[in-house]
A and B are shown apart, each in its own frame.
Chain A
């Protein structure tokens, strides 16, 4: 079998690549060994969020968020698109200063933001504990249910002749991939979008699995309006501590609450670490004592694909002609999937990308 491009993995990133590649006229084959959107994509919160901890991260998240917003009118209901916005919560005066900085940063880049003082925050989210200092409101952030988003993006690509193969890639050759069935797909372009599994096919890739826990509650409509994230989250997400937790709470359109977040390196088993989950939940209760009495119906874990500099790997694999990388999205891959697809498609089609692609090129790491 032949294709213009082969995408390995049908997570949100692979699905977005297939969508974008089929849009520029390529005949795409997607290979998925498990369930569409069943990897990290099924574990993540689906927060579509702009981030500012580096210029490159801002550019990618902001661009991607615009792409999501453009698609939103066409989305079927099961994608649970919810433009609920984010509140970055400041626990003390120091964090309130960070709010002011972020405010200035976003305003300078044309992002609509608003500073809430303590009273306005209490008014906006009455279930937060008293004594918090305020928050930065980003009304343009939103939430999507990523497994169905991946399936939808793939279905769009299939309408443009993309094919989906339920199989596992066992090795990547020169302009070909080999499947468990013994079949081979010949293609000038191979896109590795297998998330935290990327090392299985490319052992040298600078990607480390970083485990996260989440818990979901029964339905409590009206309990929470916006996604709440403590400012300390940035330390947790971008620090390199072996273990960290942060308060991150999301309202679902079902009325459920998704409680995060946690990060652990060097853990490979998928089971729940109950003491660590407990630590994450205590952090949530610390910010929102009213959570105590709500019922959790399930907890689960997932693996983020982390890179040394917290930016994804998007672009040609150094020294491997025809191989493209689209992984390493850590905790932002649902947000940045659409931009990733576009950057890959633009590069393959020889088009000028909407944002500079250099910060994400895999060649930035020594091989």
Chain B
């Protein structure tokens, strides 16, 4: 028997939590779903955030895809589940873009958010020498978090040129919350922060030992944690038939997608940061429960909050040199061991996939897709269920 809800929200990050708190004002049957053991999404996870009162919350639950209109299939902590909804709000967030360079597959080279998540999960980081590299304000947030856990931050390497970063921080005064955030990073980190610098390769025998930087310096370290911007998680929206353009889910002013009864909020509609995600989440929550008045009252706030991501985009755009880090033998698709030289004779993602197996593995191109898009200019198209690897028995289930 499917579980029945009026409003189902997928993703319990800032957007999903905000959507839930708005939706629960008018509906008694709201379900909030997240695949992590705790709510909060990328930034608030593990901070003890609670879902709003009156909202049913299913954690460790992966939505695998639609079963039929109005019905989702899910894996609820290993148990197949079906969820029926009248209204669906997608708040599926974003993931980090990881760019390949020689040595990136060594253990202890990982995503910035990935290392943070491991530390939240109990990885001992105290006294370890860590380099945080890539681009965007997220690097500082991750470095600050790791520093608080007594990691030795050797360097925060921002690829963007100094001028652009300065202009961006100068504009922060218009965003008091952001400014406060930036300052709370502290002096210690400010001293480790370098602009116009990026890792060129990572070296070590079976594990990371040192990295080579773009200024030709070598640096011995225990962890290299990299993030080259964020990519919207739009796969579920795509499976549901919502229109997507350049990787972003299309929505109207009420956060409504091109599909009946489906709304979308937060990063999938375009990378915008937590503040914008919260506003979009609330608009979606109100709009989905028919409270157009409350939704409309947030339009101005949304407009204000969307300035920051636009400025961020232009400040932290990826420099072309990053395309030239890969060697012919550098692995691009880690699931299927596909190397850069195998891809260059193809001109579309689909041709690469069919003829080299790039993106065919368990992650279904989630990691290599954005990298290939940056390196070679072709993006994965479409999505196929299941969204996450699912057991045969789960997909075989179809009882109404």
Contacts and interface: CB of A to CB of B under 8 A. Distances in A.
A60 to B, nearest CB: 26
Contacts of A151: 355
Nearest to A275: B398
A71 interface: no
B374 to A, nearest CB: 21
B397 interface: yes
Contact of A285 (B66, B73, B350, B393): B393
B396 interface: yes
B79 to A, nearest CB: 13
A42 to B, nearest CB: 5
Contacts of B66: 274
B348 interface: yes
Contacts of B362: 218, 295, 297
A35 B348 contact: yes
A296 B392 contact: yes
B350 A38 contact: yes
Contact of A274 (B241, B393, B398): B398
A312 B391 CA distance: 37
Nearest to B396: A281
A285 B385 contact: no
B390 interface: yes
A147 B393 contact: no
Given A35-B351, A300-B384, A277 B364 contact: no
A187 B67 CA distance: 49
A284 B398 CA distance: 15
A296 B389 contact: yes
Contacts of B389: 218, 295-297
B398 A279 contact: yes
Given A38-B354, A274-B66, A299 B392 contact: no
A148 B67 CA distance: 33
Contacts of B360: 298
Interface size of A as a range: 35 or more
B65 interface: yes
A291 interface: yes
B395 interface: yes
Interface string A145-161: 00110010000000000
B67 A275 contact: yes
B187 interface: no
A285 B67 CA distance: 19
Contacts of A298: 360, 364, 384, 386
A147 B395 contact: no
A217 B307 CA distance: 44
Contacts of B354: 35, 37-38, 42, 147
Nearest to A34: B350
Contacts of A42: 354
A42 B361 CA distance: 16
A175 interface: no
B392 A285 contact: yes
B396 A299 contact: no
B392 A281 contact: yes
Contacts of A271: 241
Contact of A284 (B350, B390, B392): B392
A274 B396 CA distance: 9
* The 10 A-B residue pairs with the shortest CB-CB distance in the complex, in nearest-first order: A281-B396, A278-B398, A292-B393, A295-B389, A147-B354, A35-B351, A274-B67, A282-B396, A275-B398, A291-B392
Given A37-B354, A284-B396, A299-B384, 17 more contacts: A35-B354, A38-B351, A272-B65, A274-B65, A274-B73, A274-B395, A279-B398, A281-B393, A284-B392, A294-B391, A295-B389, A296-B389, A296-B391, A296-B392, A296-B395, A297-B362, A297-B389
Interface of A: 34-38, 42, 78, 147-148, 151, 215, 217-218, 259, 271-272, 274-275, 277-279, 281-282, 284-285, 291-300
24 contacts: A35-B351, A35-B354, A38-B351, A215-B395, A272-B384, A274-B65, A274-B66, A274-B385, A274-B395, A274-B398, A275-B67, A275-B68, A278-B397, A284-B392, A285-B392, A294-B392, A295-B389, A295-B390, A296-B389, A297-B361, A297-B386, A297-B389, A299-B385, A299-B386
